[in-house]
């Protein structure tokens, strides 16, 4: 019997359910140009045909021992996350919106407070949304081992048995075994990312494991620890939940209150200070996918040691990560490199330099470049648009509107728009007029006109939008009404 079934049966027999809590608020830069702030790595399909978020949710989605997941994300990603969950048939228990990023400590406090309203002793399995795990059976066996200590009031984390010295990871020094256990140990101490020589000593000693950032703990115990260790954080989160509100099915934390919480990680706020930290050691494949080297190390390699994704031709290339999102990528005569091509940027780097990608992103931000923020394709709750061409006083976009979806009722002060339907049917509101357009038909929206675009059909609507005017920025949108509450 596999571990998933064993865990499910044990939990079901005990009338015990664990609440998966997925922390999906990150916007990492080390995987640029794939990852952008409005479309970060947890929303990307990097290791399979599923996104990292979908893979994280699915680890417990079909197990009777777990409830529907609770997710924490920022406002900008909420509809993308909801859509990705819908693609795999998952209805979350709740998606909680952070008004501002305050790290994982306050994020988990908000979840624990919200969940405690319904179940004060709720058990939470806390996972980052952007990690890769192999060996789901081992993962479930580790969860099973941690349930007893967590029920007894211990804060359980999961340590990964290291396979190599890895300076990019945090480490946990393990202490003695808990009574009666061969897998669960007391945490001796947490260690920040070490230098390469120190990482080598840690691995050779056998006394250290990688810090996975995955936790099993009760909501009550986490809040008790915060009340003792960081009362200011807890009080800010209590106010944020009390003054929060439901918005289109999401729970929106109060911005002013949540912003007052100190920005600390779970590790720094609680785990490094508590005397109840416990670690379950797990021997399974795991990666935080924090760099292109990590993607290369976790991917399926060809006979030359390369990990290749997309339309790539490689000749005399070894031990490299090669990926293209659209156009043909040809690489010749290189070794230990990373080459990543998107429709608006290309990254070429030695494999041992990819940690410096964040510096490039920082420079791009200082120059107010759009590339760190978004791709040329920008996703919206109604579909997406993609920039095709831009010049002085004009811009051309391609829009896709999902069946049944509609854009906000809006107007512009500085630009006019011309819409041409390429495929599907468009229902257009222009001031007091209502127009139904089919393929090869068009409509002109003058400056200042109130207008709205809707797809009344059962197939995606594709159209070309030509903008013209003195200013073409996205902030020249005055929303008058919106199905998605963005006014």
Question: pLDDT at position 135, please?
Answer: 85
Distance CA 227, CA 281 (A): 28
Using the 3D structure, point to which of 237, 266, 287 is the last residue of a domain: 287
In this structure, are 356 and 433 located in the same domain?
Answer: no
Calculate helix-pair angle for 231-242, 104-116, nearest 10 degrees: 50
441 and 315 in a common domain: no
Alpha helices, DSSP H, located in 218-265: 219-229, 231-242, 255-259
Distance CA 308, CA 232 (A): 48
Which positions of the chain have pLDDT values less than 70?
1-16, 28, 487
Helix (H, G, I), strand (E, B) or coil at 281: strand
Q: Are residues 89 and 142 in the same domain?
A: yes
Number of structural domains in the chain: 3
Q: Which of 412, 395, 406 is nearest to 450 (CA)?
A: 412
Q: Does one domain contain both 162 and 36? A: yes
Residue ending a domain, choose from 239, 265, 287: 287
Surface-to-core class of residue 445, CB atoms within 10 Å of its CB (0-12 exposed, 13-18 middle, 19+ buried): buried
Residue 282 falls inside a structural domain: yes
CA–CA separation, 219 and 117 (whole Å): 10
Do 281 and 319 lie in a common domain?
A: no
Q: Give domain status of residue 103, yes or no.
A: yes
**Domain-embedded: residue 91:** yes
With respect to residue 391, please indicate whether it lies within any of the assigned structural domains. Answer: yes
pLDDT at 179 (0 to 100): 80
pLDDT value of position 57? 97
Residues 300 and 186 in one domain: no
pLDDT value, residue 26: 77
Same domain, 304 and 274: no
Sign of the Cα pseudo-torsion (41, 281, 149, 222, in order)? negative
> Which of 243, 258, 287 is the last residue in one of the domains?
287
* 3-state SS assignment for residue 259: helix
For the chain, what percentages of helix, strand and coil (3-state, to nearest 5) are there? Answer: 25, 35, 40
**pLDDT score at 3:** 43
Strand order in the sheet with 461-469: 377-380, 383-391, 394-401, 461-469, 415-423, 442-445
E strands along 200-336, which residues?
208-218, 245-247, 250-252, 277-282, 286-287, 307-309, 312-318, 321-324, 329-335
Residues contacting 305, CB < 8 A, separation 6+:
318, 319, 320
Q: Same domain for 280 and 307?
A: no
In a domain, 338, yes or no: yes
pLDDT at 362: 94
Q: Could you list the residue range(s) of the whole structural domain that residue 314 is in?
A: 292-365
pLDDT at position 201:
95
- Is 437 inside a domain boundary? yes
pLDDT of residue 355: 78
Whole-model pTM: value is 0.90
Question: How far is the C-alpha of 349 from the C-alpha of 353, rounded, in Å?
Answer: 6
Per-residue confidence (pLDDT) for residue 186, from 0 to 100 = 95
């Amino acid at each position: 019997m596999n571990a998933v079934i064993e865990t499910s049966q044990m939990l079901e027999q005990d009338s015990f359910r664990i609440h998966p809590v997925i922390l999906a608020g990150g916007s990492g830069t080390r995987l640029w140009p794939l990852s952008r702030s409005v479309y970060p790595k947890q929303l990307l399909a990097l290791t399979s045909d599923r996104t990292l978020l979908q893979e994280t949710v699915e680890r417990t989605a079909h197990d009777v021992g777990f409830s529907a997941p609770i997710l924490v994300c920022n406002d900008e990603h909420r509809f993308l996350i909801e859509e990705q969950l819908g693609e795999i048939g998952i209805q979350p228990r709740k998606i909680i919106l952070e008004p501002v990023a305050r790290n994982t400590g306050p994020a988990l406090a908000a979840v624990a407070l919200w969940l405690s309203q319904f179940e004060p002793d709720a058990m939470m399995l806390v996972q980052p949304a952007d990690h890769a795990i192999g060996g789901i059976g081992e993962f479930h066996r580790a969860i099973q081992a941690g349930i007893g200590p967590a029920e007894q009031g211990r804060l359980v984390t999961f340590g990964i048995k290291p396979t190599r010295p890895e300076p990019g990871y945090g480490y946990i020094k393990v202490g003695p075994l808990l009574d009666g256990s061969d897998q669960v140990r007391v945490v001796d101490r947490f260690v920040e990312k070490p230098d390469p020589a120190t990482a080598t000593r840690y691995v050779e000693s056998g006394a250290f494991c990688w810090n996975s950032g995955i936790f099993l703990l009760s909501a009550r115990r986490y809040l008790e620890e915060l009340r003792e260790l960081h009362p200011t954080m807890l009080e800010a989160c209590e106010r944020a939940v009390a003054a929060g509100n439901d918005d289109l099915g999401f729970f929106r934390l109060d911005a002013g209150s949540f912003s007052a919480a100190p920005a600390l990680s779970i590790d720094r706020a609680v785990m490094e200070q508590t005397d109840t930290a416990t670690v379950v050691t797990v021997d399974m494949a795991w990666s935080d996918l924090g760099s292109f080297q990590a993607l290369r190390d976790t991917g399926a390699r060809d006979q030359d040691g390369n990990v290749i994704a997309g339309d790539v031709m490689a000749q005399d290339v070894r031990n490299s990560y090669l990926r293209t999102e659209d156009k043909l990528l040809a690489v010749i005569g290189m070794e230990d490199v990373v080459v990543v091509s998107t429709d608006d940027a290309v990254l070429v780097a030695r494999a041992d330099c990819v940690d410096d990608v964040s510096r490039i992103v920082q420079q791009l931000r200082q120059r107010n470049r759009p590339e760190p923020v978004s791709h040329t394709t920008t996703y919206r709750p109604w579909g997406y648009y993609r920039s095709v061409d831009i010049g002085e006083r004009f811009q051309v976009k391609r829009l896709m509107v999902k069946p049944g979806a509609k854009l906000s009722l809006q107007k512009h002060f500085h630009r006019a728009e011309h819409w041409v339907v390429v495929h599907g049917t468009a229902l257009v509101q222009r001031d007091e007029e209502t127009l139904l357009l089919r393929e090869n038909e068009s409509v002109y929206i003058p400056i200042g006109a109130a207008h709205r675009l809707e797809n009344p059909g059962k197939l995606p609507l594709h159209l070309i939008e030509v903008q013209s005017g003195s200013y073409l920025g996205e902030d020249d949108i005055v929303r008058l009404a919106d199905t998605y509450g963005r006014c």
